[in-house]
Structure 1
Amino acid sequence: MPAEKPLAPGIFITGTDTGVGKTLVAAALARHLRDLGLRVGVMKPVETGVTDPAAEGSDAALLRWAATCDAPLQDVAPLRLRRPLAPAVAAEKDKIFVDFGALLEACRRLRENHDFVIVEGAGGLMVPLAGGLLIADLARAMCLPLLVVCRPDLGTINHTLLTVFSAQTMDLPVAGFLLNGMPDIPDEAMSEAPHTLAALASTDLLGVLNRVAAKDEQSKVENLAGLIEKLPTYSILRRNLAWPEKTSK
């Protein structure tokens, strides 16, 4: 019986709210790691609001482009739903069965064939996936640590702490959190958010990424990827995400 392939390390990216830039951060990390010479696998296990469910949605397509990932559609974007609703609701309305085991198998295949894998969840941890299952249950079953992406403006302290503390209560390992979309001239609440969260969140602040302006999403990803290595917290980010030092041959 052939030995099983070793599984690559990876990260499960979740957000504190809708519109925090989770996909942009996931894609920027994928582009940065690809530029380091790593084979990066990307996955959007479930994407809703997909215009043509026979093809990848916009989030999965952006991740694939950023990583230059050539994995099959069923591994990168195994579940594509037309309605812009929570996955469990969108699937139920279209009478589509959410195969939890198939999502886990797709992740396993990606981890067998890449140096590092980035999985982007749908919304936050408490988004219903199927039946009594949440996105948090998917993250736990994939055995990947969480990277929490949060926004910098007023309210983010509450949302971020709730997300981190919920993850810890559910025994989900948290690699850290990252604030995305900090404006060039932040207001007082934004200026104080990183320090306050770093003191209270019981996990590491992995970076504060500035808001990037560009003509399209791909340009935004490239601009954001260029900021990652310049982060003062870059060594902590690299340590906590544990991506490999060397590429596979």
Structure 2
Amino acid sequence: MTVRRHWFVTGTDTGIGKTLVSSAMLHLLAGSGLCAIGMKPVAAGVEMIDGAWQNEDVVRLAAAGNVEAPLALRCPYVLRAPMSPHLAARDESVRIELPVLQSAFESLARQADAVVVEGVGGFCVPLGDALDSADLAQALDLPVILVVGLRLGCLSHALLTAEAIRARGLVLAGWVASAVDPSMLAPEANLQTLRGRLGAPLLGVVPHLAPADAAAAACHIDLRALRATAMHHAVRAGHTARCWTVRQHDDEEVSAALA
């Protein structure tokens, strides 16, 4: 039996590149021969896309993967208003239920080798009166990928998020730096500070891209460091591992991405 590789992608804030990184991961996983699909458990905000009201993040995740699945599994809760999910859900008299999200994930996990679950907003964004995104990550028990938006204030945001992830008993499997502010001062120094303090491998630095394309972002990400956590979860579940290959980038290429 092959290793099942599933991750929960969270971020230091909203609008810092979670969808781009999640899509890039799916692009790499699918390109390596795995059956890969993206899941956005809760999406807030819709727009007219191809003649229908859709959430852009959900559309981009679907385009990056290579497994077909109903929208009800890929995104069980699509809310109209672009605001915090608990507020958008309240406006529509919707109650976001954890069992619904767990069941959808389990269905996707049976269909794919890899499921990339993209959270909404930051790690602890409320989904309801007694439910937040951290509760979902904990219930799914997935290794976490942290997307750090490189801008002023990112050091505290990243370190606090890493602390919250570990406080939930979850593994911070790796992190990706996203250069959301091209004018940020001392980006390399900030990057080195985080490398020394986050206690997890840096998977890559995604430069400011226009347009934000999954294939282009994938050129700046190396998923090899995730193999160890995939193996750990496989052994725990009694699975057998098989090898897989992704792109290789050295430290010079990572540093150059911030130039």
Shorter-chain TM-score: which interval?
0.7 to 0.9
Tell me the TM-score normalized by structure 1: 0.85
Per-residue deviation at 1:187?
Answer: 5.1
Q: Deviations over 1:112-162 (max 9, x none)?
A: 110111000001111001121110000010111110001122211111001
State the partner residue of 2:89: 91
State the partner residue of 2:174: 176
- What SS does the aligned partner of 2:89 have? helix
Q: 1:142 to 1:56 in 2, by over 3 A?
A: farther
**Structure 1: runs of 5+ lacking an equivalent:** none
State the partner residue of 1:133: 131
Q: In the alignment, which of 194, 197, 206 is matched to residue 197 of structure 1?
A: 194
Q: In the alignment, which of 12, 15, 21 is matched to residue 17 of structure 2?
A: 21
State the partner residue of 1:31: 27
**Structure 2: runs of 5+ lacking an equivalent:** 232-240, 246-259
Q: 1:241 to 1:86 in 2, by over 3 A?
A: farther
Per-residue deviation at 1:246?
Answer: 5.5
Bigger CA drift: 166-175 or 132-141?
166-175
State the partner residue of 1:9: 5
| One-letter code aligned to 1:205 | L
State the partner residue of 1:163: 161
Q: 1:246 to 1:204 in 2, by over 3 A?
A: closer
> After TM superposition, where is structure 1 displaced by more than 3 Å over at least 4 residues in a row?
185-188, 237-244
Percent identity over paired residues: 34
Does structure 1 retain, via aligned residues, the 8 Å contact 2:9–2:18? yes
Q: 1:145 to 1:237 in 2, by over 3 A?
A: closer
Does structure 2 retain, via aligned residues, the 8 Å contact 1:11–1:241? no
Q: In the alignment, which of 68, 71, 74 is matched to residue 73 of structure 1?
A: 71
The number of equivalent residue pairs is 233
- What SS does the aligned partner of 1:47 have? strand
Distance 1:110 1:135 in 2: 19
- What SS does the aligned partner of 2:95 have? coil
State the partner residue of 2:254: none
Q: 1:241 to 1:225 in 2, by over 3 A?
A: farther
Distance 1:239 1:199 in 2: 20
Q: Deviations over 1:149-182 (max 9, x none)?
A: 0112221111100100111112122112110127
